[in-house]
Amino acid sequence: MRQRRMLKTMNIRVVLASACLLVVGCEDRLEQKFFDQPPATRLERMRQYSLADQYKIFRYGNDKREPPAMFLADPIAERGATAVPFLLDQLHSHPDDITLRDILLIFETMATSKSYDVRSDASLMTTLTSRVSGMKHALWQDNCKKMLQRITDFK
């Protein structure tokens, strides 16, 4: 009886460990598959994904690719006001400097493409300004201050 329990426990552990490995191994699969396809069609393909998947691909392209794929901010920025709540959720759930930098790039792209009047959204600008002021990394903070300034100055 005791051997059965031990065997059952061991089987459960093996299944759980396998599931964990599968999840970790597949974590970047969507993003990697996207970048494995021809570069010439990336923007076109990016527009076909959900906002959440676009954001995953964008972050992967900015944070794990060289050179960073900053141009992938465009399809997210094209969504305008509909993307703002999602981006704010990402900002609140991931308070690190790199997330803020990447999201600011999207908001700057929205401002320059005129898909959303970022500077007129007082609540958003207050949030962004506050978050930039609290950044830990001085170089990224300086960079993000410049991005905020470009958003504010854009006509």
Q: Tell whether 59 and 12 lie within a shared domain.
A: no
Average pLDDT over residues 34-52: 95
* 117 falls within a domain: yes
Same structural domain, 14 and 49: no
Residue 69 phi, psi dihedral angles, 5° rounding: -95, 65
**Is residue 48 pLDDT above 60, yes or no?**
yes
Q: Both 1 and 49 in a single domain?
A: no
At 129-140, the pLDDT tens digits run 999 999 999 999
The number of folded domains in the chain is 2
Higher-pLDDT residue of 8, 74: 74
Rounded mean pLDDT of 88-111? 97
Give the structural domain span for 81: 37-153
Q: Which whole number is the average pLDDT over 121-149? A: 96
Pair (1, 45) in one structural domain: no
- Whether the pLDDT of residue 16 is over 50: the answer is no
Tell me if 31 is assigned to some domain. no
